[in-house]
Protein backbone atom coordinates (compact mmCIF):
# COMPACT_ATOMS: atom_id res chain seq x y z
CA UNK A 1 0.00 0.00 0.00
CA UNK A 2 2.75 2.40 1.00
CA UNK A 3 4.63 1.63 -2.19
CA UNK A 4 1.57 2.37 -4.30
CA UNK A 5 0.96 5.66 -2.49
CA UNK A 6 4.58 6.68 -3.04
CA UNK A 7 4.26 5.86 -6.72
CA UNK A 8 1.09 7.93 -7.06
CA UNK A 9 2.75 10.89 -5.34
CA UNK A 10 5.80 10.56 -7.59
CA UNK A 11 3.53 10.28 -10.61
CA UNK A 12 1.71 13.47 -9.70
CA UNK A 13 5.01 15.24 -9.09
CA UNK A 14 6.25 14.08 -12.50
CA UNK A 15 3.07 15.36 -14.13
CA UNK A 16 3.55 18.74 -12.51
CA UNK A 17 7.11 18.85 -13.75
CA UNK A 18 6.02 17.91 -17.26
CA UNK A 19 3.46 20.71 -17.24
CA UNK A 20 5.95 23.32 -16.13
CA UNK A 21 8.55 22.13 -18.64
CA UNK A 22 5.96 22.17 -21.44
CA UNK A 23 4.96 25.70 -20.54
CA UNK A 24 8.48 26.76 -21.42
CA UNK A 25 8.50 25.36 -24.96
CA UNK A 26 8.48 28.30 -27.35
CA UNK A 27 5.80 28.14 -30.09
CA UNK A 28 8.40 27.75 -32.86
CA UNK A 29 9.96 24.87 -30.92
CA UNK A 30 6.56 23.23 -30.48
CA UNK A 31 6.22 23.16 -34.28
CA UNK A 32 9.79 21.94 -34.68
CA UNK A 33 9.39 19.18 -32.07
CA UNK A 34 6.04 17.90 -33.35
CA UNK A 35 7.32 17.65 -36.92
CA UNK A 36 10.46 15.91 -35.67
CA UNK A 37 8.38 13.51 -33.53
CA UNK A 38 6.10 12.51 -36.41
CA UNK A 39 9.09 12.18 -38.76
CA UNK A 40 10.81 9.97 -36.17
CA UNK A 41 7.65 7.85 -35.92
CA UNK A 42 7.57 7.59 -39.72
CA UNK A 43 11.21 6.46 -39.83
CA UNK A 44 10.47 3.73 -37.30
CA UNK A 45 7.28 2.78 -39.11
CA UNK A 46 9.32 2.36 -42.30
CA UNK A 47 11.67 -0.02 -40.50
CA UNK A 48 8.75 -2.21 -39.42
CA UNK A 49 7.40 -2.22 -42.97
CA UNK A 50 10.80 -3.31 -44.30
CA UNK A 51 10.92 -6.12 -41.73
CA UNK A 52 7.45 -7.33 -42.68
CA UNK A 53 8.36 -7.29 -46.36
CA UNK A 54 11.86 -8.74 -45.99
CA UNK A 55 13.81 -10.55 -43.32
CA UNK A 56 12.09 -10.26 -39.96
CA UNK A 57 14.41 -9.04 -37.20
CA UNK A 58 12.36 -9.28 -34.00
CA UNK A 59 14.69 -7.03 -31.99
CA UNK A 60 14.54 -4.25 -34.58
CA UNK A 61 10.75 -4.46 -34.81
CA UNK A 62 10.45 -4.28 -31.01
CA UNK A 63 12.74 -1.26 -30.83
CA UNK A 64 10.86 0.52 -33.62
CA UNK A 65 7.45 -0.23 -32.07
CA UNK A 66 8.63 1.10 -28.71
CA UNK A 67 9.93 4.26 -30.37
CA UNK A 68 6.56 4.89 -32.05
CA UNK A 69 4.72 4.21 -28.79
CA UNK A 70 7.09 6.67 -27.11
CA UNK A 71 5.92 9.36 -29.51
CA UNK A 72 2.26 8.35 -29.24
CA UNK A 73 2.33 8.35 -25.43
CA UNK A 74 4.44 11.47 -24.99
CA UNK A 75 1.62 14.00 -24.66
CA UNK A 76 1.96 15.48 -28.16
CA UNK A 77 -0.99 17.78 -27.41
CA UNK A 78 1.44 20.05 -25.56
CA UNK A 79 3.11 20.77 -28.93
CA UNK A 80 -0.07 22.22 -30.44
CA UNK A 81 -0.29 25.26 -28.21
CA UNK A 82 -1.68 28.71 -28.99
CA UNK A 83 0.29 30.58 -31.63
CA UNK A 84 1.34 27.41 -33.48
CA UNK A 85 -1.49 27.48 -36.03
CA UNK A 86 0.74 29.20 -38.59
CA UNK A 87 4.41 29.26 -39.55
CA UNK A 88 6.73 31.10 -37.20
CA UNK A 89 10.03 32.28 -38.63
CA UNK A 90 11.51 29.40 -40.60
CA UNK A 91 9.26 26.82 -38.90
CA UNK A 92 6.59 26.02 -41.47
CA UNK A 93 3.56 23.98 -40.49
CA UNK A 94 0.99 21.98 -42.40
CA UNK A 95 -1.43 21.71 -39.47
CA UNK A 96 -5.07 22.48 -40.29
CA UNK A 97 -6.72 25.18 -38.16
CA UNK A 98 -9.52 22.71 -37.28
CA UNK A 99 -7.10 20.86 -34.97
CA UNK A 100 -7.20 23.80 -32.56
CA UNK A 101 -10.98 23.99 -32.40
CA UNK A 102 -12.20 20.39 -32.69
CA UNK A 103 -10.94 19.10 -29.35
CA UNK A 104 -13.04 15.91 -29.22
CA UNK A 105 -11.71 14.79 -32.61
CA UNK A 106 -8.04 15.46 -31.87
CA UNK A 107 -8.43 13.67 -28.54
CA UNK A 108 -9.99 10.72 -30.38
CA UNK A 109 -7.23 10.55 -33.02
CA UNK A 110 -4.46 10.88 -30.40
CA UNK A 111 -6.11 8.15 -28.32
CA UNK A 112 -6.46 5.83 -31.33
CA UNK A 113 -2.80 6.45 -32.20
CA UNK A 114 -1.68 5.53 -28.67
CA UNK A 115 -3.94 2.46 -28.57
CA UNK A 116 -2.62 1.25 -31.94
CA UNK A 117 1.01 1.93 -31.00
CA UNK A 118 0.67 0.13 -27.66
CA UNK A 119 -1.00 -2.85 -29.39
CA UNK A 120 1.91 -2.94 -31.85
CA UNK A 121 4.40 -3.10 -28.96
CA UNK A 122 2.43 -6.02 -27.50
CA UNK A 123 2.39 -7.82 -30.84
CA UNK A 124 6.11 -7.17 -31.39
CA UNK A 125 6.87 -8.55 -27.92
CA UNK A 126 4.86 -11.69 -28.69
CA UNK A 127 7.02 -12.38 -31.73
CA UNK A 128 3.90 -13.34 -33.70
CA UNK A 129 4.57 -11.89 -37.16
CA UNK A 130 0.94 -12.16 -38.30
CA UNK A 131 -0.13 -10.20 -35.21
CA UNK A 132 2.53 -7.57 -35.92
CA UNK A 133 1.27 -7.26 -39.49
CA UNK A 134 -2.32 -6.71 -38.30
CA UNK A 135 -1.29 -4.25 -35.59
CA UNK A 136 0.91 -2.40 -38.07
CA UNK A 137 -2.07 -2.06 -40.42
CA UNK A 138 -4.13 -0.57 -37.59
CA UNK A 139 -1.33 1.85 -36.73
CA UNK A 140 -1.19 3.07 -40.32
CA UNK A 141 -4.93 3.66 -40.26
CA UNK A 142 -4.56 5.78 -37.11
CA UNK A 143 -1.87 7.94 -38.78
CA UNK A 144 -3.98 8.40 -41.90
CA UNK A 145 -7.21 9.17 -40.02
CA UNK A 146 -5.56 12.04 -38.18
CA UNK A 147 -3.82 13.34 -41.31
CA UNK A 148 -7.08 13.28 -43.27
CA UNK A 149 -8.67 15.59 -40.70
CA UNK A 150 -5.80 17.71 -39.46
CA UNK A 151 -2.85 17.75 -41.84
CA UNK A 152 -3.07 19.89 -44.94
CA UNK A 153 -1.76 18.38 -48.15
CA UNK A 154 1.19 20.32 -49.46
Q: Does 151 bind ligand HEC (CB under 6 A)?
A: yes
Question: Cβ distance 151 to 96 under 8 Å?
Answer: yes
75: left (phi over 0), alpha (psi -120 to 50) or beta: left
Q: Find the binding residues for ligand HEC in span 96-115 (CB under 6 A).
A: 99, 109-110, 113
Question: Cβ distance 82 to 101 under 8 Å?
Answer: no
83: left (phi over 0), alpha (psi -120 to 50) or beta: left
Among residues 145, 143, 150, 148, the alpha carbon closest in space to that of 96 is found at 150
Least distance in angstroms from the C-beta of 22 to ligand HEC: 16
Q: Does 136 bind ligand HEC (CB under 6 A)?
A: no
Q: Does 30 bind ligand HEC (CB under 6 A)?
A: no
Least distance in angstroms from the C-beta of 1 to ligand HEC: 37
Least distance in angstroms from the C-beta of 15 to ligand HEC: 21
Q: Does 95 bind ligand HEC (CB under 6 A)?
A: yes
Q: Does 146 bind ligand HEC (CB under 6 A)?
A: yes
Question: Cβ distance 120 to 132 under 8 Å?
Answer: yes
Residues at the site binding ligand HEC, with contacts judged by CB under 6 A: 31, 34-35, 38-39, 41-42, 45, 68, 93-95, 99, 109-110, 113, 139, 142-143, 146-147, 150-151
Amino acid sequence: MKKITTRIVLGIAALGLATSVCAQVKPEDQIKFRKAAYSFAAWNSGKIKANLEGTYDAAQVKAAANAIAGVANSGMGALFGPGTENAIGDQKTSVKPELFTNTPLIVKHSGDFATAANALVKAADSGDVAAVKAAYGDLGKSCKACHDDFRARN
